[in-house]
Amino acid sequence: RKEVEQDPGPFNVPEGATVAFNCTYSNSASQSFFWYRQDCRKEPKLLMSVYSSGNEDGRFTAQLNRASQYISLLIRDSKLSDSATYLCAVKGWSGGYNKLIFGAGTRLAVHP
């Protein structure tokens, strides 16, 4: 089982749609959670950290469910510019040190 799993998609949605991504992780000792965005042929960039109480940044809402070991990202009112791959990342103790592990990413394509 992969340490961090995501639905690869692609998610094809029209502008203005609401779309949700889920991510599950296997290490119950995980402590920190992030969503990154990666554009085609570019490096990943942090979109938002995911806090225990959930957090929102404009059209983006992140949630954490520790009991079920999953995190989610909700994008409201999708824009063409949201088209990208969204990577879930989890940091936690494994093998005696902290590791930042990424999921394989979920591709989002927003069309007019």
Partner 1 sequence: DTAVSQTPKYLVTQMGNDKSIKCEQNLGHDTMYWYKQDSKKFLKIMFSYNNKELIINETVPNRFSPKSPDKAHLNLHINSLELGDSAVYFCASSQDGSGLYTEAFFGQGTRLTVV
- Residues in the site for partner 1, rule: CB under 8 A? 31-32, 34, 38, 42-46, 49, 85, 87, 89, 91, 97-102, 104-105
Q: Which is nearer to partner 1, 46 or 80 (CB)?
A: 46
Shortest reach from residue 87's CB to partner 1, in Å: 7
Ordered DSSP codes for 15-58: TT--EEEEEEE--TTEEEEEEEEE-TTS--EEEEEE-TT-EEET
Q: Rounded to an integer, what distance in angstroms lies between the CA atom of residue 85 and that of residue 4?
A: 15
Q: Which is nearer to partner 1, 5 or 17 (CB)?
A: 5
Are the CB atoms for 13 and 108 separated by under 8 Å?
A: yes
Shortest reach from residue 60's CB to partner 1, in Å: 15
Shortest reach from residue 77's CB to partner 1, in Å: 25
